[in-house]
Amino acid sequence: MSRKRTALIPFAMLAFAAVGAVSFPGLRTHRVQAATEQAVSVLINNTPEIPLEIAHPRAVSLPAGLKGLTYSLVNRGDQRLLAVEVTWELHFENGVTRPAVDRADYAFSADIAPGASDNMEMGSYVLITHPSPVKSVTGEITFAQFADGTALGSDRAGVLPWLRAGRSATLDEYHRLLEIYRSGGESALARALVAQSDADTFRGRADRRELQKLQLRSGINAVEGKLNQVASMKLPE
């Protein structure tokens, strides 16, 4: 089952959009667009000290850049996976190379058990200046954090502060919603899930959207259970 991930880190001359949501000059119909799509080679650089595997990678190029990239992330270790970063290099036919970083934090969702896998997906990357098809893609796992707190990879210094900040913001939002529930009951919590304000953060809105989905699937009592569960969690540093 695919899960939503943090957007990839943007770079100059590079634009990110959801798969299929970018319009390219000269591509007038879906039929023409399909005819210009082309699978490109994907090379994976193994990281022996990280017990994860990138399996079944597939990248598709368009005339202006990358349409999308999908792959499976397999946990080959003996601990549950809490967070991961995969760093990609996109090699364009015009000689340009651009990095792209795909991060996922499973701390507040279903983590990846030993032997299990998760389907990953990146969106479109388009060069604004001098558009060009993608010739090849290179990928490497540059960070992984496991349930026992072990953090591995060359980008620990870059990812750990990002994880701490995001998790702290989520915990603050969950505690806030839990206090609303305790003081105002189910109706107050339901209103808070859809309320918006100028003080909202991107992370806070994303957290509430996930709780709204849970409410639609399982009811407001499930949301209260999730709030209590997360509020009592102890996460690795």
The neighbouring-strand residues paired with 132 are none
Residue 71 has pLDDT above 60, yes or no: yes
Confidence (pTM)? 0.76
Q: What is the pLDDT of residues 153-194, one digit of tens each?
A: 999 999 999 999 989 888 888 899 999 999 999 999 999 988
Query: Which pLDDT tens digit goes with each residue over 15-55?
Result: 333 333 333 333 333 344 444 789 999 999 988 999 999 99
For β-strands 65-75 and 117-122, DSSP reports them as: antiparallel
What's the chain's Rg over C-alpha atoms?
Answer: 20
What distance in Å separates the CA atoms of residue 179 and residue 204, rounded to the nearest whole number?
A: 15
Identify the CA nearest to 173 among candidates 143, 213, 201, 136: 201
Angle (deg, nearest 10), helices 220-231 and 156-194: 150
Range 14-152: architecture per CATH = Sandwich (2.60)
At 30, which helix (H) or strand (E)? helix 30-36
Which is more confident, 236 or 4? 236
pLDDT at 23: 30
CA–CA dist 172, 175 (Å, integer): 5
pLDDT of residue 237: 61
- The token pair at 45 is 């650089």
- Number of other residues whose CB lies within 10 A of the CB of residue 122: 24
> 3-state class of 226 per DSSP?
helix
Confidence label for 210 from pLDDT (cuts 50, 70 and 90): confident
Question: Is the per-residue pLDDT at 62 higher than 80?
Answer: yes
Q: Taking 60 as the threshold, does the pLDDT of residue 94 lie above it?
A: yes
Tell me what the pLDDT averaged over the chain comes to: 82
| DSSP 8-state symbol, 211 | H
Check residue 13 and give its pLDDT. 34
Integer Cα distance of 178 and 55 in angstroms: 40
